[in-house]
Structure 1
Amino acid sequence: MTATVTDISTLVHEFWTLMGSNDFASVESVLSEQFILEWPQSNERIRGAARFAQMNSEYPAEGPWRFTVNRVVANTGHEAVSDVTVTDGALTARAISFFSVEAGKITKIVEYWPEPYAAPVNRAHLVELIDEESPY
């Protein structure tokens, strides 16, 4: 059976809500037994929901992690993408996460953590800076 866009989108929002609780073991409830997380930029793979929870629990932070979901796009198959801003009060980053879903559980996330950079001066006459309050 094909999941609906609403089902997948709701599951991704639930994932980020659980992450925001900072009770990372609770996130295991939405992950499949065969869950895999991949970070292509650092060439790392984490296998299993328990290891994912442990990695997040052990990750150094200045304060509790807060997650702002900027956008979720889902399809009627088994995929969704989220754009999330993450902060611990000292560090702020943005994550683009590609979710695969089977039987109502997240089976895989491929996640990118792009580094912000200053716009090149040579195109300043062609662009405008994005308002930080705008979702797009």
Structure 2
Amino acid sequence: MTDLRKTVERFWAAAESRDWTAFAETLAEDVVYTLPQTRERIAGRERYVEFNREYPGDWHLRTERIVAEPGQVVTWAHFTVGLEEMYAITFFTGEAGESGEGRITSITEFWPEPYEPPAGREHLSERY
């Protein structure tokens, strides 16, 4: 298990529990959060924490999978906002920490939208 993986696990746990102090402690001061679908970028720990604190609705998350190697972690997470369900793929990079627990320096998050498959391949696939 990499140090960054532990940090990302704490990041998601703090987000779910709305522990914004613990959440902020996982982030580098100059963290950059990027959302390619909306072409938004948030720079800085304070702004990113506030972005999450102000997010509307009663949202919750469950981490489905974590893939980690030194310096980078990818997560697949299931989110609910009220009755709506969605998944996000999140890429984290981080720094090495003196205590062995590095902080997150960049986050890029993708929110894939579900869509119907093209007609004509039903004989090859199974819907779930």
Percentage of identical aligned residues? 39
CA offsets 1:72-130 (integer angstroms, 9 cap, x no match): 10113x01100001112322111111100102000000111110112233211110124
Q: Is the counterpart of residue 90 in structure 1 residue 83 in structure 2?
A: yes
With normalisation by structure 1, the TM-score equals 0.83
1:1-136 to 2 correspondences below 5 Å: 5-61=1-57, 63=58, 65-76=59-70, 78-103=71-96, 104-130=102-128
After TM superposition, the runs of 4+ consecutive aligned structure 1 residues lying more than 6 A away are none
Q: Would you say the 8 A contact 2:4–2:103 is kept in 1?
A: no
Structure 1 residues 115, 24: closer, same or farther in 2, change over 3 A?
Answer: farther
Task: For residue 33 of structure 2, give the secondary structure of its aligned residue in structure 1.
Answer: strand
**Unpaired runs of at least 5, structure 2:** 97-101
Distance, in Å, in 1 between the alignment partners of 2:21 and 2:42 is: 15
Shift of 1:49: 1.3
**Matched positions, count:** 123
Amino acid at match of 2:105: T
Shift of 1:25: 4.2
Amino acid at match of 1:89: G
**Unpaired runs of at least 5, structure 1:** 131-136
Distance, in Å, in 1 between the alignment partners of 2:49 and 2:24 is: 7
